[in-house]
């Protein structure tokens, strides 16, 4: 027997009586699209709902509140044997902080909810909280509450974070315009290389393996960089690279109703990743484009602002900064190859309802 499903016409009906769409078919973003309408019952104070790194409320005396939440599920987002409790606590906060950074905001307070298997050692959760508290202290964020419940067998971590920003400085995914240049604030692909090592898909020697695993397990959200970019007033749109460069650039293109062109030779890859790829015989660019969890910032800047923007970034020490492409009219993402040819790119990134990460 299936679930009882509510009918909008009134009454209930049994689900499962006819073939229905499954989550592994619709995917995370397809599901979000299917439920985003009719979520806002009153427009009072709601500036942005579903469709960006944070929801935005306000304004209140010239500032807005930023709300974000993320959930980590054991054996989907992490495996206990491949990350320490301390690192897991750090990372569970970092991924939320990165959402605030993507909007140009300042993190303020957060709530932590845990579903804990009853047989789990208390020391594990204490170490988890040590990682959480340390990253919160570093970024001056207060833990103000949450919830704790029992889980049948897996550890589940949910963090909800509130930040704020000046109303006129918030950067959305929807601001990109044709002619904008596309920038990244760091290399991509190193975190995904760390994941491949954890999954034993590649087996480099030490200290190379630990270098990439640490990057994957201990991300460093770019709060100060995001705030400085937003305060400059020179950028049009921004997002953090969490689902992969192509996927996250695709989000900007979709919300802004534009297309994009990337320059193959300009996509920033670390020397360590290039060396690893040479030794392990994989394509580092392909890995970097589709991998995720880099937690650097991807942004667009109009041509008229480029010179001033780069000067501000240099003066404020916001380097490295890489110009990797441009926003164009139309749909989709294309790649300019080294020989000048143009290639249509298939946009793929992390999907929570495809087979588990680990």
pLDDT of residue 59: 92
d(CA 156, CA 277): 34
pLDDT band per the 50, 70, 90 thresholds, residue 127: very high
Average pLDDT over residues 172-194: 97
Q: Where are the domains of the chain?
A: 1-35, 39-168, 172-345
pLDDT band per the 50, 70, 90 thresholds, residue 353: very low
> CB of 142 within 8 A of CB of 108?
yes
Average pLDDT over residues 33-43: 66
> Under CATH, what is the fold of the domain 172-345?
Phosphoribosyl-aminoimidazole Synthetase; Chain A, domain 2 (3.90.650)
Average pLDDT over residues 191-205: 94
Per-residue pLDDT tens over the stretch 276-321: 999 999 999 999 998 889 999 999 999 999 999 999 999 988 888 9
pLDDT of residue 38: 65
Give yes or no for residue 15 having a pLDDT over 60: no
pLDDT of residue 46: 87
Give yes or no for residue 3 having a pLDDT over 50: yes
> Under CATH, what is the fold of the domain 39-168?
60s Ribosomal Protein L30; Chain: A; (3.30.1330)
pLDDT of residue 50: 80
pLDDT of residue 358: 46
Angle (CA) 63 176 237, round 5°: 40
Dihedral over alpha carbons 259, 263, 266, 268 (to 10 degrees): 50
Give yes or no for residue 37 having a pLDDT over 80: no
d(CA 333, CA 258): 9
292: tokens are 């995720």
> CB of 235 within 8 A of CB of 214?
no
Per-residue pLDDT tens over the stretch 54-106: 999 999 999 999 999 999 999 988 989 999 999 999 999 999 999 999 999 99
């Amino acid at each position: 027997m299936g679930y009882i499903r509510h009918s909008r016409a009134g009454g209930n009906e049994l689900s499962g009586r006819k073939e229905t769409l499954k989550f592994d078919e619709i995917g995370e973003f397809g599901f979000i699209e299917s439920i985003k309408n009719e979520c806002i019952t009153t427009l009072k104070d709601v500036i942005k709902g579903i469709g960006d790194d944070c929801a935005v409320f306000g304004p209140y005396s010239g500032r807005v509140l930023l709300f974000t939440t993320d959930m980590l599920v054991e054996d989907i987002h992490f495996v206990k044997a491949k990350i320490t409790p301390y690192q897991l606590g750090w990372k569970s906060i970092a991924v939320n902080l990165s959402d605030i950074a993507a909007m140009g905001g300042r993190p303020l307070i957060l709530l932590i909810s845990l579903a804990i298997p009853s047989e789990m050692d208390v020391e594990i959760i204490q170490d988890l909280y040590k990682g959480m508290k340390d990253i919160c202290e570093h970024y001056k964020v207060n833990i103000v509450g949450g919830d704790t419940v029992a889980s049948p067998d897996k550890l589940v971590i949910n963090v909800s974070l509130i930040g704020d920003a000046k109303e006129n400085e918030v950067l959305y995914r929807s601001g990109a315009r044709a002619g904008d240049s596309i920038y990244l604030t760091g290399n991509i692909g190193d975190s995904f290389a760390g994941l491949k090592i954890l999954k034993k898909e590649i087996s480099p020697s030490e200290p190379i393996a630990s270098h990439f695993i640490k990057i994957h397990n201990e991300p460093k959200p770019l709060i100060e960089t995001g705030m400085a970019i937003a305060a400059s007033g020179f950028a049009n749109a921004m997002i953090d690279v969490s689902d992969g460069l192509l996927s996250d650039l695709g989000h900007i293109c979709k919300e802004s109703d534009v297309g994009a062109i990337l320059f193959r030779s300009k996509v920033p890859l670390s020397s360590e990743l290039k060396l690893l790829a040479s030794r392990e015989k994989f394509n580092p660019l392909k890995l970097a484009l589709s991998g995720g969890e880099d937690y650097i910032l991807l942004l667009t800047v109009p041509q008229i602002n480029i010179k001033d923007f780069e000067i501000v970034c240099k003066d404020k020490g916001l380097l490295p900064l890489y110009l990797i492409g441009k926003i164009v009219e139309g749909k989709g993402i294309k790649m300019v190859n080294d020989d000048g040819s143009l290639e249509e790119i298939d946009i793929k990134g992390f999907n929570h309802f495809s087979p588990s990460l680990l």
